[in-house]
Amino acid sequence: MRRPFRSGPPSAVPAPAPGNLPAELNRFVGRDDELAALTHHLGESRLVTVVGVGGVGKTRLALKAADALKKRYCDGIWLAELAALRDPELLEHALVEALGLTDHSSRPTRQVLVGQLATRQLLLVIDGFEQLVDACATLVRELLRRAPELRVLAVGRRPLRVDGELTFSLAPMTETDAVRLFTERAAAVLPGPPVTSTSPGPGPGDARSAAVQELCRRLDGIPLALELAAGRLHVLSVEQILDRVGDRFRVLTDGRRGAPPRHQTLRTAIGWSHELCTPAERLLWARLSVFAGPFDLEAAEYVCGGPELPDEEVLDVLAELISQSLVVREKTPAGTRYRMLDTVRAYGAEWLEALEDTERMRRRHRDWYMGLATWYELDWFSPRQADVAAGTESALPNLRAALELCLESPEEAHLGQHLAGTLWFYWAGCGRLTEGRHWLGRALALDTPYDESRLKALWVLGYVAVLQGDSTAAVGALHECREEAARTGNALARAYAVHRLGCQALLTDDMPRAERLLRSALDAYRELGELNSNVLMGQVELAMALVFQGDLEAAVALCEEVREICEDSGERWTRAYALYVLAYAAWTRDAHAEARALTAESITIHHGFNDLVGLVLAVELMALVTASEGDPAEAAVLQGAATRIWESVGPPLFGSGFFGAPRALCERRASEALGTERYAAYEGEGLGLSMSAAVARALAERRPAAAPPHQQPEASRPVRKTRKPAGSPTARGGEAAG
């Protein structure tokens, strides 16, 4: 792939290589020949699929090979983990998420993927696609056809069967490698000097060496089985483990004639570990299988606790499962989380089904995550906003599972509507508009009464559609919500519908109507005692409408009040939008240093929440400030960076009016100063910046260049009017909603 055209001075510090491959937690052992062969195949074929029995080490080998090739791909190596995904319709969303291509537009997600990857040189690693093999094969085929520099490394239990696919079958480890792996993992379980042959752990001597070799042979060299065996060395000797493996092979073989021996062997290995567990450990293992992704201790205690396993005992039992490598503990931005390897989880799910307890546990799981979402919605308007964003991101696979359960039955569809609506802060505030639209659409497609849940889902759907630039869907949902809320006497739902209709008018440049509707909604919020991020956002949106109409003083007063409330409450998301308006006001006064500081804070907050709508607006304003400071070249770079972000948001969304003014002004000023060709070259440099690189560029401190004095064009300054400041969301004088 050709690099984006670059001109001008190079960056002082090279940007880190893009990608999201996880760091290794322990040393990769053996597989030298397989690793060399796989890396060679990746150089020869655009699609390589690593296949093999579960637990044979497919993922670990694929990630090791990918990491060894990271210098070959200028746009990075990206891992998409699909094992927890069950809905084929979410496949494109998962790849968009994994590739960091969050999209806010109303374009089909597949179109977004194809468009974004068309000119990129990257390696996409797809892991755990078996349950979505048909959908995955279709998507991979299209991506490879439309993106000539894309290569795909797939990892699963069977091939995709796509033209041009090279299938790499991964066999169990050789005896030499298996012994090396077992010995190294054993040393991690029992560090220190070697022990005697009758004590737990490997030690010197021919008898011990023979026992280890026999154990590795009996486990067929499957890495998962070897690691499970090594994890038991804190309570059993090698000889004791070997004896028990023999017994469990006979007891736990599924007995199906013709089944691949390796499948039976892995099942035996997992089943043997299951048999070594205490009854409490087995029960927790089965119940934990309802989690579709990472979970925290509180979730495990609520979902899995009960008369047979008291809540207060869950922690100790969980710790035992962790010590046996059946559950993995990991640090995440949301804090400590736990997860099960997919093979282990699947085995537990079979036992849960045998206990005839699956549906009850799924409902307990659903209830916990509905409660979590409700708590997060309340906590969004607090100093914990960033924690809420991280926690919701971590819980997303489980929230999806909860939504799926709600939507399986028409009788529980209202619960799905409630959950999808409750997550408005995540859909709108954390870059998840497309997925939010998916769930809200599915929930509202089911016929339910116009109760509080359905009305909330309607106004949230309208809000999401507004931000995607889909006026038809937005107006339809919001009008329906407003009319049904009036009919059923739900004043709060009506206020939210009127508010978002005002937002729609704002983004379509109907400023008088936007002001009328927003004032009406803010009056209703005051009467109802409603105060949260949505209410404050309505006040900022009113300020934006006033700026466009020339009443800058009233707009500043509104946003200063929002900033004060945000400082008192710890709210940051809405604060970032208020800072944007205040920065624009500072720029109109030629207070460039103040405008830069306010815009930088806005960019930092939006980037932290992955709110691309707010981020791209703030980057464009920073470009205008930079041009006004006398650095048209850097301004052009930022314009290009913003253009690339707009590809994920939807350029028509804020193409004119107040939102389009900074971009148009900056382009005119910078191109006049640089000339058309130089402006295009610097803009091209910005187009080549990744999201993180663009943010870093926008936030970089720089000494303003000396600019020749000039008169600001009349069109660039809002016309000031003498008008009483709007003051607050409680200000009177607004007309009733039309």
Tens-digit pLDDT profile for residues 276-334: 788 999 999 999 999 999 999 999 999 999 999 998 899 999 988 887 778 888 898 99
Token pair, residue 217, equals: 């042979």
pLDDT tens-digit readout, 576-629 = 999 999 999 999 999 999 999 999 999 999 999 999 889 999 999 999 999 999
Note the pLDDT of residue 266: 62
**Minimal CA–CA distance to 582: which of 598, 571, 605?**
598
Note the pLDDT of residue 654: 55
Q: Is the pLDDT of residue 247 over 70?
A: no
Q: C-alpha distances in angstroms, 400 versus 344, 357, 459?
A: 21, 21, 21
Note the pLDDT of residue 649: 72
What's the rounded Cα separation, in Å, for the pair 179 and 173?
Answer: 9
User: Could you tell me the pLDDT band of residue 338, with boundaries at 50, 70 and 90?
Assistant: very high
Helix axes 297-304, 358-379, angle to 10 degrees: 140
pLDDT tens-digit readout, 660-719 = 788 889 999 999 999 989 999 999 999 999 989 999 999 997 655 444 434 343 334 443
Rg (CA), the chain: 29
Give the lowest-confidence range in 62-76, 95-109, 188-202, 386-400. 188-202
Give the lowest-confidence range in 104-118, 243-257, 358-372. 243-257
Highest mean pLDDT among 104-108, 199-203, 350-354, 722-726: 350-354
How does strand 122-127 pair with strand 77-81? parallel
Note the pLDDT of residue 373: 97
Consecutive H or E run containing 51 = strand 47-51
What's the rounded Cα separation, in Å, for the pair 242 and 229?
Answer: 9
406 neighbors 415 (Cβ within 8 angstroms)? yes
- Tell me 730's DSSP state: T
Residue 336, strand partner residues:
331
Mean pLDDT of 441-460: 93
- Give the residue extent of every domain in the chain: 32-169, 175-275, 512-574+712-738, 591-708
Mean pLDDT of 715-731: 37
Amino acid at 535: V
- CA angle in degrees (0–180, nearest 5) for 404-406-409: 105
pLDDT tens-digit readout, 407-427 = 998 889 999 999 999 999 999
What's the rounded Cα separation, in Å, for the pair 21 and 1?
Answer: 22
Note the pLDDT of residue 618: 95
Q: What is the mean pLDDT of the chain?
A: 84
User: Could you tell me the pLDDT band of residue 508, with boundaries at 50, 70 and 90?
Assistant: confident
Helix axes 279-288, 311-323, angle to 10 degrees: 90
Sequence-distant (6+) residues with CB within 8 A of 194 are 201, 202, 203, 204
Note the pLDDT of residue 195: 34
Q: CATH assignment of 32-169?
A: 3.40.50.300
Q: C-alpha distances in angstroms, 156 versus 23, 53, 56, 58?
A: 21, 8, 11, 8
Q: Is the pLDDT of residue 248 over 50?
A: no
Note the pLDDT of residue 673: 92
Note the pLDDT of residue 486: 94
Note the pLDDT of residue 698: 94
User: Could you tell me the pLDDT band of residue 251, with boundaries at 50, 70 and 90?
Assistant: very low
Q: What percent of the chain has pLDDT over 70?
A: 85
Mean pLDDT of 196-201: 41
What's the rounded Cα separation, in Å, for the pair 459 and 404?
Answer: 21
